[in-house]
Amino acid sequence: MKLSIIIVSWNVQQDLVRCLRSIEENRPCAEYEIIVVDNASSDGTVDCIRRDFPDVAVIANKENRGFAAANNQGIKKSRGRYFLFLNPDTIVHPHSLDALVEFMDKNGDVGACGPKLLNEDGTIQPSTRHFPTFRGALYRHTAFRFLWIFRGEYEKFLMKAFKYDREMDVDEVTGAALMVRRSVIKQVGDMDESFFMYYEEVDLCYRIKQAGWRTVFIPGPVITHLGGRSAEQISVLNRVIMLTSLLTFFRKHRGKITTAIFNCVFKPAVILGNICTIAFGIITYIFARVALSKRTRKKTAARVKNSAIMLWKYSWQLLFRI
């Protein structure tokens, strides 16, 4: 078998059905299989897929095992030469699966590749990144962003100047649609299950590159990614999980001692960043109220609320447990 499509789901039944329909409508020419690993959804996902998509293999977990562990379950059940790790909130475009398979067939030194991703409105969704750095993390997650310190490092991480109309070797492509060669997984290992969610594909791409394989963005195949539907259900907790996974990545690939030193600045700066968000948010809210900007008030109130929850509920965990 040439291709195994592995989809991990959690309470996104409608998106998953749309994704599976798009695969049905744009089947690859090569022999393929679809494996859905459901992380204990409460929205009837498992019954729906078994009823409406009898050819899809379903693994129904009794608890939410996380993204990496669920993908590993799919890997163990699969038979394909290539894995396509695909988010449930994606829509496959015509010929895209064939183009991904054909690219891997023709480029034996490529360990992983990713397609062009589009937002729901058809605009390009950034899907390539450099590997995370300490300075970039400080700008993204802490009070440093209010001072614009390390902004350049963060924009370098985001690959702001990247042109999505050309093929290019990159450090990583997003896990929303990531194709990996089976022989590479056998060499570098499965997804690291110490990452519950976030950075598991970054860690995998890092290990692939360290092993001497290429990771390539290819613009021909196109997939629409609606983006973050499962994560939206746990907005504040998802940020804590993201920080936990980021620090796990740093400990693993930058060293425990170096990361411990970094944390002496990083963790207090995260807390200070939330305090700044609340302070500036209150000021912004007042001005928005005077200007009668309902949209700005709503967005600002949400940011202030999330930062307050972060401080009240998770500060201790951040400082002493992560």
The answer to whether the beta carbons of residues 169 and 213 sit under 8 Å apart is: no
Each residue of 185-216: pLDDT tens digit? 999 999 999 999 999 999 999 999 999 999 99
Q: Can you name the residues that pair with 9 across neighbouring β-strands?
A: 38
Q: For residue 302, give both structure tokens.
A: 């949400």
- How confident is the model at residue 65, as a pLDDT? 96
The answer to whether the beta carbons of residues 143 and 276 sit under 8 Å apart is: yes
- How confident is the model at residue 287, as a pLDDT? 81
Longest dimension (CA), the chain: 63
* Amino acid sitting at position 258: T
- How confident is the model at residue 231, as a pLDDT? 47
Question: Cβ neighbours of residue 57 under 8 Å, at least 6 residues apart?
Answer: 33, 34, 35, 36, 77
Rounded-to-integer distance, Cα 191 and Cα 175, Å: 11
pLDDT band for position 232 (50/70/90)? very low
- How confident is the model at residue 292, as a pLDDT? 64
Residue 298's closest CA among 279, 283, 309, 285?
285
Domain ranges of the chain: 3-127+164-227, 255-320
Mean pLDDT for 60-71 is: 97
Mean pLDDT for 117-142 is: 96
CATH T-level fold of 3-127+164-227:
Spore Coat Polysaccharide Biosynthesis Protein SpsA; Chain A (3.90.550)
* Amino acid sitting at position 239: R
- Count of Cβ atoms closer than 10 Å to residue 295 Cβ: 8
Q: For residue 228, give both structure tokens.
A: 């973050």
pTM of the model: 0.93
The answer to whether the beta carbons of residues 191 and 85 sit under 8 Å apart is: no
Rounded-to-integer distance, Cα 57 and Cα 44, Å: 16
Mean pLDDT for 130-157 is: 96
Mean pLDDT for 270-278 is: 96
pLDDT at 103 over 70: yes
**Percent of the chain at pLDDT exceeding 90:** 89
Q: Find where tokens 């859905």 sit.
A: 36
The answer to whether the beta carbons of residues 300 and 285 sit under 8 Å apart is: yes
Strands 32-39 and 3-9: parallel
Q: Find where tokens 């829509």 sit.
A: 91
